[in-house]
Chains A and B, each alone.
Chain A
Amino acid sequence: MTWRDAIALAARSVGRKLGRAVLTVLAVGLAAALLSSLLIASTAAQRRVLDQVSDGGPLAGIQVAPAEPDPGALDSDNPPRGDPRPIDDNALREIAALPNVDAVVPIVANPAIVVPPPDPLPGADPRRRDLTRAGTFEPYFDTVVGVDIAQADDLPIAIIAGRLPLAGAPEAAVSSGYLRRLGIDKGQADEVVGTEIVVGAPRGFVDGDDVYVRGRWVRLLVVGVVAQELGSGQVLVPLGEAQAARRWSTAGVETERFDIPESPYTGLFVVAHGLDRVPAVRQAITDVGYSTSAPETLIESVQRYLRVVEIVLAGIGVIALAIAALGITNAMLAAVRERRREIGVLKALGASNRDVRRIFLVEAGTLGFLGGIVGTVVGYGAAQLLAGVVNGYLRSQRLETVQLGLPLLLVVAVVVGSTVLALVAGTVPAQRAARLPARQAMGDR
């Protein structure tokens, strides 16, 4: 007997008792749905929690400060810094060339005077305005932060409205702190997108005996709002703009009115090749001579707790699948009892024990496979439904929503797992059918 014959016989048998087959598939499907929805929800929750811990950036992110490391403080996530040490292009290249470093994102910050749009935006809270004597929003001292926009995906930046500025464009993104300054809630972040700000880099100069300040001013279109504060600044610009501002400011004389960082790069954000490589990369950067910080210990602790939750949820799903497997065993045993004569005929016609076992295993496997597919689809739908409820709550609290993914690995695991479980559940009935002597099977009518 060929595989094709076995499949045809199994399919005919399923078709004869369609109601029982559908119920069995549904039982497996519901169990698989429970397992897959729990795992999808748990994966999404895990991603959300880790995003929160890592500020939306890569988990293996390391911040490098323009300072020497403080000896003896290497094991903590955020150790105290040593003496100042500028980060220049040579240091950047040296760190980028270290083993297990995937990316190095330079960051440049410069003091700035920010002139927001003069008039309050429609959604602004009137109680939270700093106004000039002319009734317009007060310009204020701040810091502009410049990053290489092409590497923005490697940074802990989450966009809550609009987009990031384009490299080389006269554009900026602002932080939620800027929204607060303008009296605007996060939920109305769209209001500031499309407005224009004027940003001035200050420079001290001497005129007679006094030191004055003059500015280099640029007009920037606000194209987005990011959730995080940008260090001490509220304005994110392309790296080139921040470097031009810094060149302007450092060409002047020192003044107490603002502080120009001595280091060409205010910091680096280094992405290691995996969380497990973070300690080695931090040590290597320390050996180069710079202080680092990374939430690696915190992330590892959170991951351990989340893994426990994942195991518990998966366990609940597996128990449900095991119960469904018992249902398959029961259905298959019933099928064997009902088809004794058919088994006898097959054996009388020359079918071996192996052929009979194969027919019943194919039947059990088919039920498990179909149940796995139904379960994955239903599970994803159930997880989406759950996410809709959760996101509704998160939105009402003005928090970031969760995004559900359907990992290919999960789909394969649930479908293959259901099939294998069904095969195991069908082994005993298939074995019983295979061992049934032909004469006994025929004579039991």
Chain B
Amino acid sequence: MSRATLLVVVAAFLVAGCSSGRDDPGPPEAAVPDPETVLVIGSGSSEGSELRDPLREAWPRLVFAESLTRPATLVSGASGPATVSDALAFQLPLAREVEPDWVLVMLGSYDLNRETPPEVFGSQLRELLAALDAAAGGRVLVADLPALPAYGDAARRAYNDEIAAAVSEAGATLVSLANETLEPVDDEHDYQPNAAGHRVIADAFGAVIHELGT
């Protein structure tokens, strides 16, 4: 190595050693897949408003946390004592807005509570599912009604028949809870399942999502 080369090498080391490290390049852009968006259509019982920790224990939260990989976005339209008719009016527009990849529907408990005739319930549900199919473009999963002490068995079976028929006609996917018996969160809110019941519902939705593939 010539003296000149040695001098250049030493000078380069000196300059490199004297840099203060403030010129670090910024964090790189992440290569992230498009987020999956989940829309929940339901009533207050889907929100788990009477649970001790609704933002973690309600079934949509469990599905969001456990059955979907990041990045994922959850939009819940579920609120109050919503019937299918309420969902058509107040929750369907969300499907058009957020264009979800998954629509998770769980309705019927407050229709049952208001003693809406099963055929009317079924007709409205068909309308809702057809509209969701047109608006969302994603997969639509519809749960039927599990057994809760507040539901009359005969009425529940009639509703579940309507749900199965509507799901079949709309080309949606049925999440079967008909054979599950859940406990209410408390005596005052006997239309809402407790945390264990939400876990059962979440597992049922999760199994179908897993089967269909995220």
Contacts and interface: CB of A to CB of B under 8 A. Distances in A.
Interface stretch (B74-82, B111-119, B143-151, B200-208): B74-82
B58 to A, nearest CB: 11
Interface of A: 113, 115, 118, 132-134, 136, 139, 149-153, 163-171, 198, 205, 207, 212, 214-219, 221, 251, 405-408, 411
B213 interface: no
A166 B17 contact: no
Nearest to A203: B75
Contact of B79 (A150, A166, A198, A214): A214
A217 B53 CA distance: 16
Contacts of B195: 134
Contacts of A215: 74-76
B73 A218 contact: yes
Given A214-B77, A411-B18, A168 B30 contact: yes
Given A168-B32, A407-B18, A411-B18, A163 B27 contact: yes
Contact of B53 (A132, A153, A411): A132
Contacts, number: 102
B35 A170 contact: yes
B70 to A, nearest CB: 5
Interface in B30-58: 30, 32, 35, 51-53, 55-57
B191 interface: no
B20 interface: yes
Given A115-B55, A151-B26, 18 more contacts: A113-B55, A133-B53, A134-B51, A150-B26, A150-B29, A165-B27, A166-B27, A166-B28, A171-B30, A198-B64, A207-B90, A212-B80, A216-B75, A217-B74, A405-B18, A405-B21, A406-B18, A407-B20
B54 to A, nearest CB: 9
Contacts of A118: 53, 56
A405 B51 CA distance: 56
Considering residues B70, B86, B97, which has the most beta carbons from chain A within 10 angstroms of its beta carbon?
Answer: B70
Contacts of A113: 55
A165 B71 CA distance: 13
Contacts of A150: 26-27, 29
11 contacts: A113-B55, A150-B26, A164-B27, A166-B28, A167-B27, A214-B77, A217-B74, A218-B72, A219-B71, A405-B18, A411-B14
Contact of A170 (B18, B29, B32, B74): B32
Contacts of A133: 52-53
A136 B56 contact: yes
Q: Shortest 5 CB-CB distances between A and B: which pairs?
A: A169-B30, A166-B30, A170-B71, A134-B53, A133-B52
B15 interface: yes
Interface in B73-112: 73-77, 79-80, 86, 90, 97-98
Nearest to B51: A134
B9 interface: no
B53 A166 contact: no
Contacts of B14: 408, 411
Contacts of B75: 214-217
A115 B60 CA distance: 14
B178 interface: no
B55 A139 contact: yes
Nearest to A170: B71
Contacts of A165: 27
B65 interface: yes
Given A134-B57, A214-B77, A405 B20 contact: yes
Contacts of A136: 53, 56
B27 A149 contact: yes
B72 to A, nearest CB: 6
Contacts of B27: 149-150, 152, 163-167
Nearest to A410: B18
Contacts of A171: 30
Nearest to A167: B29
Contacts of A214: 75-77, 79
